[in-house]
Amino acid sequence: MNKIMLTTVAAAISLTLSACYQDDGTVLAPNQAPPVPPTPSTLDVSGSGIKGVLANALVEVFDSSDLETALANTQTDENGDYTLSLTDASGEAITGTFFVSVSADEDTTMICDATVCGDVVRGGVVPASQLAGLKLSTMSNSDGSGTIFAEVNALTTLATETILAVIEDDADIDLSDPEIFEAFQVDASRVIGATLGLDLSETNIFDVVIVDASVSANVSTDDMVAATLTLINGSLSGLEPGTDETLADAIETYIAAVKLVTKAIINNPGAALDADTVAAMASINAVQAQVSQAIIDLASVISGDTGNAVGIVNIPDVINPDDIAASVDLDDEITGGTGGTGGTGGTGGGGTGG
Is the pLDDT at 324 greater than 70, yes or no? yes
pLDDT value of position 172: 82
What pLDDT, in 10s, does the model give residues 252-269?
999 999 999 999 999 988
pLDDT digits (tens, 9 = 90+) for 275-304: 999 999 999 999 999 999 999 999 999 999
Task: Compute the distance between CA of residue 331 and CA of residue 317 in angstroms, rounded to an integer.
Answer: 25
Alpha helices in 152-222 (DSSP H): 154-167, 178-196
Q: Looking at the predicted structure, is the pLDDT value of residue 329 above 70?
A: no
pLDDT at 34 over 70: yes
pLDDT at 337: 45
How does pLDDT run across 202-243, given as a tens digit for each residue? 999 999 999 999 999 999 999 999 999 999 999 999 999 989
pLDDT at 169: 78
Q: What is the mean pLDDT of residues 158-166?
A: 95
147: Cβ–Cβ under 8 A, 6 or more apart, which residues? 43, 44, 45, 46
Alpha carbon distance 236, 54 (integer Å): 14
Question: Could you tell me how many residues make up the chain?
Answer: 354
Burial 299-326 (b: 16+ CB within 10 A, else e): beebbeeeeeebebbebbbebbbbbbbb
State residue 27's pLDDT score.
Answer: 62
Higher-scoring residue by pLDDT: 9, 192: 192
pLDDT in tens, 125-146: 999 999 999 999 999 999 999 9
Q: What is the pTM of this model?
A: 0.85
